[in-house]
Chain A
Amino acid sequence: MTGRPVDPDVDLHVPRQRSELREGPWGVLAAIAAGGALGALARHGLGSVFPHRPGEFPWAVFWVNVSGCLLIGVLMVLVTETWTAHRLVRPFLGVGVLGGFTTFSTYVVDAQELVNHGAPLVGLAYLAGTLAAALAAVFTGVRVTRLLARPRRGEAAPRIRCGERSEASGE
């Protein structure tokens, strides 16, 4: 284990996330609810602008899930490896906005409806294509952000004075 969270929503192995609900439960839950509502509205908006007919490849949900995966990779590197972010940034943007924007249930049900409408190959291509593109997107988001954020990490290092305990060196 590298000590970084595996679950971007909440990872109880990370002490700060384990205690975040105790410290201010309503703030955290309100941030997640507000973010989730914004994310879901954005997904609905894109689905309305780019609708798909039964039996057609659901491009809007495909791009929603792939772009959401790219952005979670960027966000998680920023909040766990680069910044000391405000305690509501991850709940609002990660759990709320991106969690509400992307969807697993629609992905699965859309794939099944493609099969039910006599397009099993399109359904299979949609299942496999989304998975491959989403994993490539999250990989790209993480790697590119690490690459770009590296100089800033170097600049931040001298702020830690000798003898001072820091969260970064403590892990």
Chain B
Amino acid sequence: MTIVLIVLGAALGAPLRYLTDRAVQARHDSVFPWGTFTVNVSGSFVLGLLAALPAHEGVMAFAGTGFCGALSTYSTFGYETLRLAEDGTRFYAVANAAASIVAGLGAAYCGMAIAQAVTG
């Protein structure tokens, strides 16, 4: 059952990352990879929330391991950071790495704080 829930969550999360990335890029023509930044920060927020609830094992498999795991991505983040550095936009490469990690940590912290406030 866990495997089915992970498959379902990931089959939603990965296409949602692609569609979000497209939608963000269509609105912001920028060197900074805002699309991947958005999915990584959103995924961190939801996983922070789930981790602090604490969520049922099945919910964690579907929404945590499957959905948040596939919505957020390290390979895309890593490749983009390298490509920014390769193209000579070193400032954006460093800013992308720093901002993604700081915003991801902040978002996860907010998720955890909200979960703790709700559950008391």
Residues of chain A having any CB pair with chain B under 8 Å = 1-2, 4-12, 21, 28-29, 32-37, 39-41, 43-44, 47, 64-65, 68-69, 71-73, 76, 91, 94-96, 98-109, 111-113, 127, 130-131, 134-135, 137-139, 142
Instruction: Report the bound CA distance from A154 to B47 in whole Å.
Output: 47
B14: which of A36, A73, A104, A106 is its contact (CB, 8 Å)?
A: A36
From A102, which residue of chain B is reached at the shortest CB distance? B74
A65 CB → nearest B CB, Å:
4
Residues 91-104 of B, flagged 1 when their CB comes within 8 A of A and 0 if not, give 00000010011001
B74: which of A6, A69, A76, A127 is its contact (CB, 8 Å)?
A: A69
Whether A33 and B21, one on each chain, are in contact in the complex, defined by CB atoms closer than 8 angstroms, is no
Q: Is the interface of A mostly helix, strand, loop or mixed?
A: helix
B90 within 8 A of partner (CB): no
Instruction: Report the bound CA distance from A94 to B66 in whole Å.
Output: 17
Whether A103 and B69, one on each chain, are in contact in the complex, defined by CB atoms closer than 8 angstroms, is yes
B residues in contact with A35, CB < 8 Å: 14
B117 within 8 A of partner (CB): no
How many chain B residues touch A (CB < 8 A): the figure is 61
Whether A37 and B7, one on each chain, are in contact in the complex, defined by CB atoms closer than 8 angstroms, is yes
Instruction: Jot down 29 A-B pairs with beta carbons below 8 A, ordered by A.
Output: A4-B83, A9-B17, A9-B35, A9-B73, A10-B21, A10-B35, A28-B18, A33-B12, A37-B70, A39-B10, A40-B7, A40-B10, A40-B65, A40-B70, A64-B74, A69-B78, A100-B14, A100-B70, A101-B75, A104-B100, A105-B40, A105-B47, A106-B68, A106-B72, A112-B105, A131-B97, A137-B78, A138-B79, A138-B81
With contacts A6-B80, A10-B25, A142-B82 taken as known, whether A103 is within 8 angstroms of B72 at the C-beta atoms is: yes
Among the interface residues B13, B26, B84, which one has the most CB atoms of the partner chain A within 10 A? B13
Which residues 1-44 of B sit at the A interface, judged by CB distance below 8 A? 2-3, 6-15, 17-19, 21-22, 25-26, 31, 33, 35-36, 40, 43-44
Instruction: Report the bound CA distance from A99 to B14 in whole Å.
Output: 7
B4 CB → nearest A CB, Å:
10
Whether A111 and B105, one on each chain, are in contact in the complex, defined by CB atoms closer than 8 angstroms, is yes
Residues of chain B having any CB pair with chain A under 8 Å = 2-3, 6-15, 17-19, 21-22, 25-26, 31, 33, 35-36, 40, 43-44, 46-48, 51, 61, 65-66, 68-84, 86-87, 97, 100-101, 104-105, 107-109, 112
From A128, which residue of chain B is reached at the shortest CB distance? B101
Whether B14 and A32, one on each chain, are in contact in the complex, defined by CB atoms closer than 8 angstroms, is yes
B32 CB → nearest A CB, Å:
10
B69: which of A33, A40, A98 is its contact (CB, 8 Å)?
A: A40
Instruction: Report the bound CA distance from A106 to B109 in whole Å.
Output: 13
Since A37-B70, A106-B68, A112-B105 are in contact, a sample of 16 more A-B pairs with Cβ atoms closer than 8 Å, ordered by chain A residue number, is A6-B33, A9-B17, A29-B18, A32-B14, A40-B65, A72-B76, A100-B13, A100-B14, A103-B43, A103-B68, A105-B43, A108-B47, A109-B48, A109-B51, A112-B48, A134-B74
